[in-house]
Amino acid sequence: MADELADLFQNNRHWAAQHIAQDPDFFTRLWQQQNPQYLWIGCSDSRVPANDIVGLAPGELFVHRNVGNMVYHTDFNCMSVLQYAIEILQVKHIIVTGHYGCGGVRAALQNRELGLIDNWLYDVRDIYDRNRSKLERLSEEERVDRLCEMNVVQQVANVCHTTIVQRAWHNGQQLSVHGCIYSVKDGILRDLGVRVTGAEQLAPVYRIEE
């Protein structure tokens, strides 16, 4: 029943009218082309709305979201987004954004079988296992949050290790990969201080030279 979505359609008409009131050419311009400078790779969590958090309008942020903001080289979806963003849209920045208290990261810490998601989140378990001695000292909440940060750092590395990103660097394209974490508690996005701008910052084994 369309009525079930009545609020959404009403919100949409209001939203479109507001944009047109402020800028009559807004949609005509967007229809012609998008020109985002940023690719956002974030979690699907409904509390982490990419554009809103960083105050960017439609057309300014290319977005890929999945549970746990994971980047797998075998994920055609993520890899296609990455390639399109870099090669066609020529984005200058890729921002991998995790968030504290992430349900995906928390799920990876449970030994209970949750289903397909257990396979999806296996990288998080690997990160936990590699950092077990550091993480086991923390309280449960801190452990999840620290693992959320570590996961972002790992996914930044996974982005950088792709042939797509390395080819862009090799071709002299200006491209930075950043890691950030968002707090649902206070609405603040924090830079984790990981910023990769070239293959020379990668461990030698990951470098793909042409």
Rounded Cα distance between 67 and 43, Å, is: 5
Least distance in angstroms from the C-beta of 177 to Co ion: 20
Largest Cα–Cα distance of the chain, in whole Å? Answer: 58
Least distance in angstroms from the C-beta of 200 to Co ion: 32
Our CB check for Co ion shows the closer of 102 and 199 to be 102
Our CB check for Co ion shows the closer of 6 and 184 to be 184
Q: Any idea of the CA torsion for 57, 167, 205, 64, to the nearest 10 degrees?
A: 30
Residue of 150, 151, 165, 148 whose CA lies nearest to 202: 165
Least distance in angstroms from the C-beta of 185 to Co ion: 14
78 given a catalytic annotation:
no
Q: SS3 of 176, please?
A: strand
Bridge partners of residue 65, in order along the sequence: 42
Contact stretch for Co ion (CB under 5 A) within 7-15, 42-50, 77-85, 108-116: 42-50
146 given a catalytic annotation:
no
43 given a catalytic annotation:
yes
- Cβ neighbours of 10 (radius 10 Å): 10
Residue in 64, 78, 99, 146 annotated catalytic:
99
Least distance in angstroms from the C-beta of 99 to Co ion: 5
- Cβ neighbours of 202 (radius 10 Å): 17
| 43 binds Co ion, rule: CB under 5 A | yes
Residue in 14, 47, 73, 195 annotated catalytic:
47
Q: 153: which 2 tokens?
A: 């750092």
Our CB check for Co ion shows the closer of 192 and 202 to be 192
95-124: contacts with Co ion (CB under 5 A): 102, 104
Least distance in angstroms from the C-beta of 100 to Co ion: 9
52-67: burial string, b at 16+ Cβ within 10 Å, e else = ebbebeeeebbbbbbb
Residue in 43, 78, 148, 180 annotated catalytic:
43
45 given a catalytic annotation:
yes
Residue of 159, 134, 157, 158 whose CA lies nearest to 146: 134
Q: Which residues bind Co ion (CB under 5 A)?
A: 43, 45, 102, 104
The catalytic site residues sit at: 43, 45, 47, 99, 102
